[in-house]
Structure 1
């Protein structure tokens, strides 16, 4: 069967438009952080929002207001945890990954690569992607908290202070 009745189809159209608008408003109110590059914690919240949206759209057992409240609660909980992680090292360690140094002064740190499950070819690819021809010209490659690789070229003078907060 393609559909049960026209009312069900109309409900999906109306609820989809309304839930979508509500979700956009909530995400805009939550701020740029909710839409930034995702770390693992943000990804979980995003998946939960998507799951909630699909449930609201397709289940006639869930009212639009209940779905909107679920959106608000997920955004509010994410905001609270983000605020707490600023002030509490314990919360920060529980919800945020730490960046990892994969290459320093042209030398690949193989033990860190193993620990972080990154291949040497991925490091080389990131370096090539920055237009660098030789690893000796790279001060560092960092696995960021969102999973991206940052390549820091060797400075012509002075030191690299963007690595100060990385674990040794």
Structure 2
């Protein structure tokens, strides 16, 4: 009966170590698999949601005791806060931990290298344009895949105002 609340310090430390390793492993797999896997989640939201849900399920089913489950939940939340803080304080860490938007279509051209990296087909881009209610692709200035996996459709501007694509346009010019 005492195992329900606490088994041993060595077991609790073992679970803590496994939690850190599992969290980092899952995070790396999500980052490697690309933005499409996240589908409206950022990497933190996705990893935290999955891991918290799994831990809670094990705790509810009594497959881990309360002390171990609490340690796991604490570590997951602490790591999320640590990653968020590192990301805010360091441009290098932000770039490492968070995805950045990428142009997939620009000024009438499909950017095949970016499409391949993000695992997006021409049909998916055209579908996103249709979902935006646009029938004429020539009116589309750009299609951007955002960090959460959504595609943003930017129509061409007639007034030459400031562009939300400044950084992405620069990347395309540098690649040319």
TM-score (norm 2): 0.67
- Asked if 1:58 is matched to 2:61, the reply is yes
Which of residues 37, 47, 52 in structure 2 aligns to 1:49?
52
Give, in whole Å, the separation in 2 of the partners of 1:161 and 1:89. 23
Which of residues 40, 61, 83 in structure 1 aligns to 2:43?
40
Q: Which structure is richer in relative contact order (CA contacts within 8 A, separation 6 or more)? A: 2
Which of residues 110, 113, 116 in structure 1 aligns to 2:115?
113
Which of residues 125, 128, 136 in structure 1 aligns to 2:127?
125
Give, in whole Å, the separation in 2 of the partners of 1:133 and 1:148. 19
Give, in whole Å, the separation in 2 of the partners of 1:105 and 1:159. 16
Match of 2:89 in 1: 87
TM-score (norm 1): 0.70
Q: How many residue pairs are counted as aligned between the two chains? A: 131
Match of 1:104 in 2: 106
RMSD over aligned Cα atoms: 1.9
Q: 2:72 is paired with a residue of what secondary structure?
A: helix
Q: 2:159 is paired with a residue of what secondary structure?
A: coil
Is the CA contact (8 Å cut-off) linking 1:127 and 1:135 kept in structure 2?
yes
Change (3 A) 1:76 1:165: farther
Change (3 A) 1:61 1:115: closer
Q: 2:133 is paired with a residue of what secondary structure?
A: coil
Q: 2:105 is paired with a residue of what secondary structure?
A: strand
Q: Which runs of 5+ in 1 are unaligned?
A: 1-36
Note the alpha carbon deviations across 1:31-89, whole angstroms, 9 max, x for none. Answer: xxxxxx412343122211111111111125411x5434432332232122112111212
Q: Which runs of 5+ in 2 are unaligned?
A: 1-39
